Amino acid sequence: MSLYSEIFYSSEINELFSDKNVVAEMLQFEATLAVSQAKEGVIPTSAAEIIGQCCHTDFIDFERLKTDIKLSGNAAIPLVKQLTEIVKQKDSEAAKYVHLGATSQDVVDTATVLQIKDFIDWLEERIGLLEHHLITLTNKHCNTFMIGRTLLQQAKPITFGLKTALWLESIVRSKVRIEEAKKRVLVIQLAGAVGSQNQQINPKVKALFAEILDVETANSWHSNRDNLAEFASVLGILNGGLGKIAKDVTLLMQTEVGEVFEGAAAGKGGSSTMPHKRNPVTSTAILANANRVPHLVSTMLSGMAQEHERSAGLWHSEWEVLTEIMKLTAGTLERGIELIESLEVDENRMLENLEITQGLIYAENVSLALASKIGKSAAHELVENACKSAVSEHKHLKEKLIELSVDLSENELNELFKPENSIGLSLEIIDGILGKV
């Protein structure tokens, strides 16, 4: 694997998609096909046993395989050829039953599905972990005041817990999407040369084959790739959700903002010549992936108009791209967990930053309070002018309002300039979200 195998990816998922594991899943296809056919009386049980014994990656010549893939156009043709030779050495009769009735795309597609299945298992467990950390963070900071920002401008106060609760909601929706997509994507491909099946892969064989592999049965999807495109999209959306979190963190980590920080670790994100720097390394990796994955998803969508019963090129374009989407998603998610698990929050800086505008973020509070006393229009006009004066005179708005002797007691004014009185229904929203997960 490349220099960047750890920063953008997950080691576990890199391993899942190693050449060896890809080939192992293809061999799993052949062994399972044989045993299913044997149980349904299509081939001799002895043949299935021998085939099963030969379905091990140790027997495969990987270098020859790569070269032959170039000649034959996919991985299954030369793999089946090697497997057949291996079986033949044990029992030439059994060799006749290798891959019986199946087509090369059946092997490649089903092997992909089996890897997707393992990937989803990993993914769901990790999303659970991410949710857990987000829930913890939200609970901890449900009442931590900070400024809400729109178009990168300070707007009005919220709590940090509201921000993280909304992050959480997006991740939870991604979890549901994966669940829904699973029904469609976790299905066998076993349809024969042109998708019409045949007696060797009759419905009973298919049902058993699917049962053993623990996925659903299906008609040919050789050139109907909507399920894979959907799965790619769903992962793209998960990446986007994590990209949003990472974007917020990088912005909050800015030297001029300084409200949250990635957890420190020895050697992480520092600079020897710039001692003040604390680079958002983990978020940066997530954002890099978030810039890449959407384009890989659209490669899958662009590849859907596949010709006839099997495409000349579009199917082939999926192989590495779908794998890359899964691998990058794993990296994004793993980085996301690391990020949330160790996120440091500077509550004091959040409070300080609420004061940067010298009270202007509370102007609407004052306006609403005054309205009940002097009427809406008058209140609005008064506050607008007070704001202008405060800015031009570099004064705090509250100070200016006192100067102007507005019809509000100092106590009333103090209350109006407190973040706790300006966070809307943040707490209720957080409760609602946490109550549902």
Of 230, 222, 185, the residue nearest 108 (C-alpha): 222
Range 237-241, long-range pairs (CB < 8 A, 24+ positions):
237/174, 237/177, 238/127, 238/171, 238/174, 238/177, 238/178, 238/329, 238/332, 238/333, 239/289, 239/290, 239/293, 239/294, 239/328, 239/329, 239/332, 240/290, 240/293, 240/294, 241/167, 241/170, 241/171, 241/174
Known active-site residue 10: no
Window 407-426: residues binding a second copy (CB under 8 A): 423-426
The residue among 274 and 409 lying less far from a second copy, judged by its C-beta, is 274
* Minimum distance, C-beta of residue 407 to a second copy, in the bound complex (Å): 19
Structural tokens at position 275: 């001692």
Cα end-to-end span (Å), the chain: 37
Known active-site residue 292: no
Distance CA 190, CA 311 (A): 17
**Hey, what amino acid is at 333?**
L
User: Does 76 interact with a second copy (rule: CB under 8 A)?
Assistant: no
* SS3 letters across 8-30: CCCHHHHHHCCHHHHHHHHHHHH
* Minimum distance, C-beta of residue 81 to a second copy, in the bound complex (Å): 9
The residue among 277 and 414 lying less far from a second copy, judged by its C-beta, is 277
* Minimum distance, C-beta of residue 418 to a second copy, in the bound complex (Å): 15
User: Does 138 interact with a second copy (rule: CB under 8 A)?
Assistant: no
Q: Mask of contacts with a second copy, 352-371, x by CB under 8 A? A: -x--xx--xx-xx--x----
- Residue from 309, 346, 347, 399 that binds a second copy (CB under 8 A)? 309
Window 162-221: residues binding a second copy (CB under 8 A): 162-163, 165-167, 169-170, 173-174, 176-177, 180, 184, 192-198, 202-203, 219-221
The residue among 70 and 214 lying less far from a second copy, judged by its C-beta, is 70
Q: If you compute the radius of gyration of the chain from its CA atoms, what whole number of angstroms results?
A: 30
The residue among 114 and 246 lying less far from a second copy, judged by its C-beta, is 246
Q: Mask of contacts with a second copy, 225-244, x by CB under 8 A? A: xxx-xx--xx-xx-xxx-xx
- Using alpha carbons, list the distances in angstroms from residue 380 to 153, 211, 362, 364, 413: 22, 70, 13, 8, 16
SS3 252: helix
User: Does 161 interact with a second copy (rule: CB under 8 A)?
Assistant: no
Cβ(129)–Cβ(30) under 8 Å? Answer: no
The residue among 122 and 145 lying less far from a second copy, judged by its C-beta, is 145
Q: Mask of contacts with a second copy, 94-123, x by CB under 8 A? A: --x---------------------------
The residue among 126 and 318 lying less far from a second copy, judged by its C-beta, is 318
- Residue from 213, 286, 382, 408 that binds a second copy (CB under 8 A)? 286
Distance CA 13, CA 120 (A): 11
Distance CA 360, CA 383 (A): 10
Distance CA 151, CA 423 (A): 19
Window 323-342: residues binding a second copy (CB under 8 A): none
Window 240-279: residues binding a second copy (CB under 8 A): 240-241, 243-244, 246-248, 250-251, 253-257, 265-269, 272-279
Given 126, 225, 278, 310, the catalytic residue: 310
* Minimum distance, C-beta of residue 101 to a second copy, in the bound complex (Å): 9
* Minimum distance, C-beta of residue 336 to a second copy, in the bound complex (Å): 12
**Hey, what amino acid is at 376?**
K
What number of CA atoms fall less than 13 Å from residue 173's CA on the CB side?
A: 13
* Minimum distance, C-beta of residue 110 to a second copy, in the bound complex (Å): 16
Given 11, 18, 271, 372, the catalytic residue: 271
What number of CA atoms fall less than 13 Å from residue 107's CA on the CB side?
A: 26
CA 403 vs. chain centroid, Å, equals 54
Question: Judged by CB under 8 A, how many residues of this single chain contact a second copy?
Answer: 162
* Minimum distance, C-beta of residue 360 to a second copy, in the bound complex (Å): 4
* Minimum distance, C-beta of residue 411 to a second copy, in the bound complex (Å): 21
Distance CA 421, CA 240 (A): 33
- Residue from 36, 37, 189, 306 that binds a second copy (CB under 8 A)? 306
User: Does 297 interact with a second copy (rule: CB under 8 A)?
Assistant: yes
- Residue from 32, 138, 289, 329 that binds a second copy (CB under 8 A)? 289
What number of CA atoms fall less than 13 Å from residue 353's CA on the CB side?
A: 27
Catalytic residue annotation: 271, 310
